[in-house]
């Protein structure tokens, strides 16, 4: 099977400009990273602050290009894509979920979720149908016309997940998706992401500094100082997702 995304010997260096007195400094944020995400896989990439997670996420999202090495999306090297092809890749094949939700504050949940379909050129009637279906899939069928301020943090993140999935991407990238939520709500969002990964077959990559969040993924990769450590370090025992729900917590 062709991987959804594959990194081959990827490095990313940032060159900080030389000042009048200082010489240029090169920061080696990624120092030779290779791994592949198969269709439908669920992978967590975990590491401490400064380890290169954001840099890697930008590359996996085709938002940035590597200094050396290659990134392939469904077998195509990003280096060979022109700007239009890159924009199409980002808009149709990759969905993003961020720590800060990144919703438009003045528009409804429905309009937020339909927005990527506007960019994709989908006609109005179909946009609405697909946005409603995506909101129903994340359990927000009764919140279509609520604006973000009228929703809880967990609900806002569900809207963001629906927006990421409405284009039916092959790859869902989640950057610290629970970072702005309390533990119980964070576990609900992780359970939702896991269910969507299982039910819709979208490959899921969760980037996190939280080893407990990472432990929920069947495959875990650690990143440290710009290098990957694929499965060599045992994570803490997985917290059982199905036992972490609020219903059971309050019942018990
Ligand atoms: P993480 O997301 O794990 O906190 P980052 O990918 O943001 O790590 O950063 C990895 C390293 O690269 C850090 O040393 C950071 O300071 C450096 N870095 C990240 N972005 C830039 C940038 N735009 N310019 C210079 N250095 C950067």
Task: Give the model confidence (pLDDT) of 119-175 as tens digits.
Answer: 889 999 999 999 999 999 999 999 999 999 999 999 999 999 999 999 999 999 999
What is the 29 CA–ligand 1 centroid distance (Å)?
6
In a domain? residue 69: yes
In a domain? residue 251: no
In a domain? residue 252: no
Quick check: 14 and 54 in contact, CB under 8 A? Answer: no
The CATH number of whichever domain residue 92 belongs to comes to 3.40.50.300
Best residue for ligand 1 mutational test, from 24, 27, 49 (most atoms within 8 Å of Cβ): 27
Tokens 């999306």 identify what position? 73
What is the 175 CA–ligand 1 centroid distance (Å)?
15
Q: Is the CB of 29 under 6 A from ligand 1?
A: yes
Phi, psi (deg, nearest 5) at residue 69: 85, 180
In a domain? residue 49: yes
Quote the number of domains for the chain: 1
Query: For residue 237, is pLDDT > 60?
Result: no
Instruction: Please report the pLDDT score of residue 233 as a whole number.
Output: 45
In a domain? residue 228: yes
DSSP element (H, E) containing 8: strand 5-16
What is the 71 CA–ligand 1 centroid distance (Å)?
19
Q: Per residue in 51-64, is it b (16+ CB within 10 Å) or e — as a string?
A: bbbebbbbbbbbeb
> Which of the four pLDDT bands, split at 50, 70 and 90, describes residue 115?
very high
**Calpha distance 126→252 (Å, rounded):** 44
DSSP element (H, E) containing 84: helix 83-88
Q: Is the CB of 119 under 6 A from ligand 1?
A: no
Domain that holds residue 227: 5-244
């Amino acid at each position: 099977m062709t991987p959804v995304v594959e990194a081959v010997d990827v490095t990313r260096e940032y060159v900080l400009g030389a000042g009048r007195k200082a010489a240029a400094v090169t920061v080696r944020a990624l120092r030779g990273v290779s791994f592949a995400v198969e269709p439908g896989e669920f992978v967590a990439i975990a590491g401490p602050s400064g380890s290169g997670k954001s840099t890697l996420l930008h590359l996996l999202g085709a938002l940035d290009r590597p200094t050396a090495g290659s990134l392939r999306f469904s077998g195509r090297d990003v280096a060979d894509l022109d700007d239009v092809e890159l924009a199409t890749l980002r808009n149709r094949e990759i969905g993003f979920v961020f720590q800060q939700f990144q919703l438009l504050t003045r528009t409804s949940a429905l309009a937020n979720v339909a927005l990527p379909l506007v960019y994709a050129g989908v006609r109005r009637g179909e946009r609405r149908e697909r946005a409603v279906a995506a909101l129903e899939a994340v359990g927000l069928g009764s919140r279509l016309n609520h604006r973000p301020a009228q929703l809880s943090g967990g609900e806002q993140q569900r809207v963001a997940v629906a927006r990421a999935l409405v284009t039916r991407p092959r790859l869902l990238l989640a950057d610290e998706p629970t970072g702005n939520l309390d533990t119980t709500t964070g576990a609900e969002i992780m359970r939702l992401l896991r269910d969507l990964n299982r039910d819709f077959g979208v490959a899921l990559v969760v980037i996190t500094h939280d080893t407990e969040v990472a432990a929920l993924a069947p495959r875990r990769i650690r990143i440290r100082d710009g290098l990957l450590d694929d499965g060599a370090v045992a994570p803490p025992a997985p917290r059982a997702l199905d036992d972490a729900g609020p219903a059971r917590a309050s019942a018990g």
